[in-house]
C-alpha cells in the first residue's frame, strides 16, 4: 500500500521537494503509526522544505514539524488504533520524518491526545505556532501582566495571530506590531485594539529607557525590535521571547532589567514536558474562539508546500496554513 508524502532530496545545487508515492516500510522505526489528517506550515518548515538551514542532516527527508491524525497501529499501551493525536516539536520534521505525509511513524512519548473540544483540523490551525503562543501567554500570566496594553510583534504571522486572539479572549488590550498595513482589518478582527507600524520599532536602541508603555509582550521577531521593546516595558513587566523573524542578534543594554525589573522569558516549544503540553492544549481549547481561529486559516495541499515554504521565509504568509492530507 502506498501513501503520498512531500519528499525533499539533495541535488547538485541544493535540494528539491516533490510529492511522491511512498511505502510503509520506508517509515522510520518507532512505536506509533499515525494516519496523518492535517499538518501546517511554520517558519522552520520553510527552512526544511528548502535547503534546510542546518536543521536537516539526512536526505531524502520528509518535513512537517507538526501534525494531527488518527493512530493506525501502536506498540505502546498509551495509544490504540482509532485514537486521535497531535504532535508538535521533538525535532520531528527536522531530525525525524514529519507530517507532510499521509502516514507518520513516531515515538509515543512525542504525542499528546487530541485535546477535548478540538477537531484534528482545528488542532493544526493552532499548530506549533499557536501552541507556542499559548506557552508565551502562560509565561506572561505566571509572571503577572502589568496595566498597559500587551504588545504582540510579528502580529500577522502564525505565532502573532494566535497570540492576538488569545490575549483578546482574556480581555487584554492588544497592540499589534505589523509591517503589513493591509492586515490592519484582519488584526482588529482578531481582537487587536491598537496597530503599531513595524517601522516605529525598527530603529535600533537610541536611549536604553523610553516611556513605560507595554504591560507585557509576546515577541515573534527578536533582533533590534526586541531590543527596542525592552526599553518600553512598564516597571516589572515581562517579554516572552518566542521568535527571530527579524534576526537573532539582540542589540540591547541591560538597563531595562536593572532599573525597571523587566523580565525576558525564553519560550521553547520543542522540548516542553508532556504535562505542560497537555496544560497548554487544554487552555487553547478553552480560550481560543474557534471562529477567530477559522479566520486565520489558509487551506493548502501537499502540492502547495514548496511555494508556501518560500513564502513563509519571506514573511508573506498570513495567519495559519492548514495542510489537508486526507
Ligand atoms: P510567520 O512567518 O508566520 O510570522 C512571522 C512574522 O514576523 C511575519 O508574518 C511578519 O509579521 C514578522 N516579520 C517577518 N520578517 C520580519 C522582519 N524582518 N522584521 C520584523 N518583523 C518581521 O512565522 P511564525 O509566526 O510561525 O513564527 C514566528 C517566529 O517564531 C519564527 O522566528 C519562528 O522560528 C519562531 N518560533 C519559535 C518557536 C519556539 O518554540 N520558540 C515555535 C514556533 C515558532 P508582520 O507582517 O505582521 O509584520
Where do the structural domains in the chain lie, given as residue ranges?
2-114+294-324, 127-266
Q: Pick the closest to residue 40 from 247, 309, 314 (CA basis).
A: 309
Q: Name residues of the chain where pLDDT drops below 70.
A: none
pLDDT score for 61: 97
| β-bridge partners, 263 | 238
Tell me if 235 sits within 8 A of 215, measured CB to CB.
Answer: no
pLDDT score for 17: 96
- The CATH class of 127-266 is alpha beta
ipTM tops the 0.90 cut: yes
Specify the residue with its C-alpha closest to ligand 1, atom 29: 243
Number of H helices and E strands in the chain, helices first, is 10, 15
C-alpha span between 209 and 163 (Å, rounded): 26
Ligand 1, pocket residues at CB < 6 Å: 42-44, 128-129, 132, 154-160, 178-180, 198, 220-221, 225, 242-246, 267-270, 312, 315, 317
Q: Pick the closest to residue 242 from 142, 147, 110, 152 (CA basis).
A: 152
Residue 139 Cα to ligand 1 midpoint, Å, equals: 19
Tell me if 127 sits within 8 A of 88, measured CB to CB.
Answer: yes
What the block records as the C-alpha cell of 32 is: 506509533
Strand order of the β-sheet with 150-152 is 194-197, 174-178, 150-152, 216-219, 238-241, 263-266
pLDDT score for 1: 83
* DSSP label at residue 270: S
Kindly provide the residue ranges of all beta strands, DSSP E only, lying in 24-164, ordered along the sequence. 32-40, 66-74, 84-88, 103-106, 111-113, 150-152
pLDDT score for 205: 81
Task: For 257, list phi and psi in degrees, rounded to 5.
Answer: -70, -40
CA 224 to chain centroid, in Å, comes to 21
One of 3.90.1530.10, 3.90.180.10, 3.30.70.1350, 1.10.1740.110 is the CATH number of 2-114+294-324, namely: 3.90.180.10
What is the end-to-end Cα distance of the chain in Å, rounded?
15
What is the per-residue DSSP string for 86-104? EEE-TTBTTTB--SSBSEE
**Which of 43, 127, 131, 188, when mutated, tests ligand 1's pocket best, judged by the most ligand atoms within 8 Å of its CB?**
43
**Which of 267, 315, 316, 318, when mutated, tests ligand 1's pocket best, judged by the most ligand atoms within 8 Å of its CB?**
315
Provide the phi-psi class of 144: left if phi over 0, else alpha when psi is between -120 and 50, else beta: left
Specify the residue with its C-alpha closest to ligand 1, atom 19: 246
pLDDT score for 86: 98
* Vertex 25 angle, CA 22 and 27, to 5°: 70
> Which helix H or strand E contains 203, and what residues bound it?
none
| β-bridge partners, 20 | 5
What the block records as the C-alpha cell of 150 is: 500587551
Kindly provide the residue ranges of all beta strands, DSSP E only, lying in 224-308, ordered along the sequence. 238-241, 263-266, 297-300
What the block records as the C-alpha cell of 26 is: 520506508
pLDDT score for 203: 83
Report cis status (omega within 30 of 0) of the bond before 294. Answer: no
Task: For 320, list phi and psi in degrees, rounded to 5.
Answer: -125, 120
Amino acid at each position: 500500500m502506498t501513501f503520498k508524502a512531500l519528499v525533499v532530496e539533495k541535488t547538485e545545487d541544493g535540494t528539491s521537494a516533490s510529492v511522491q508515492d511512498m511505502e510503509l516500510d520506508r517509515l522510520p522505526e518507532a512505536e506509533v503509526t499515525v494516519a496523518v489528517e492535517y499538518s501546517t506550515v511554520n517558519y522552520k518548515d520553510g527552512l526544511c522544505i528548502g535547503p534546510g538551514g542546518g536543521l536537516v542532516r539526512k536526505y531524502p527527508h520528509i518535513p512537517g514539524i507538526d501534525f494531527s491524525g488518527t493512530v493506525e497501529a501502536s506498540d505502546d499501551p498509551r495509544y490504540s488504533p482509532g485514537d486521535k493525536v497531535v504532535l508538535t516539536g521533538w525535532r520531528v520534521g527536522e531530525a525525524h520524518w514529519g507530517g507532510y505525509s499521509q502516514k507518520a511513524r513516531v515515538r509515543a512519548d512525542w504525542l499528546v491526545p487530541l485535546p477535548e473540544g478540538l477537531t484534528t483540523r482545528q488542532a493544526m490551525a493552532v499548530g506549533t505556532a499557536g501552541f507556542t503562543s499559548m506557552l508565551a501567554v502562560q509565561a506572561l500570566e505566571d509572571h503577572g501582566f502589568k496595566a498597559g496594553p500587551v504588545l504582540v510583534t510579528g502580529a500577522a504571522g502564525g505565532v502573532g495571530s494566535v497570540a492576538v486572539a488569545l490575549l483578546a479572549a482574556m480581555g487584554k488590550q492588544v497592540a499589534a506590531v505589523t509591517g503589513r498595513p493591509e492586515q490592519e482589518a484582519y488584526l482588529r478582527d482578531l481582537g487587536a485594539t491598537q496597530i503599531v507600524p513595524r517601522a516605529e520599532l525598527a530603529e535600533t536602541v537610541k536611549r536604553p529607557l523610553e516611556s513605560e508603555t507595554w504591560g507585557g509582550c509576546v515577541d515573534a521577531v527578536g533582533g533590534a525590535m526586541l531590543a527596542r521593546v525592552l526599553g518600553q516595558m512598564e516597571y516589572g513587566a515581562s517579554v516572552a521571547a518566542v521568535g527571530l523573524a527579524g534576526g537573532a542578534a539582540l542589540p540591547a543594554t541591560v538597563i531595562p532589567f536593572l532599573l525597571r525589573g523587566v523580565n525576558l522569558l525564553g519560550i521553547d516549544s520543542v522540548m516542553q514536558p508532556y504535562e505542560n503540553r497537555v496544560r497548554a492544549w487544554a487552555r487553547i481549547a478553552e480560550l481560543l474562539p474557534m471562529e477567530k481561529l477559522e479566520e486565520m486559516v489558509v487551506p493548502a495541499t501537499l502540492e502547495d508546500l514548496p511555494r508556501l515554504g518560500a513564502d513563509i521565509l519571506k514573511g508573506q504568509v498570513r495567519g495559519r496554513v492548514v495542510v489537508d492530507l486526507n
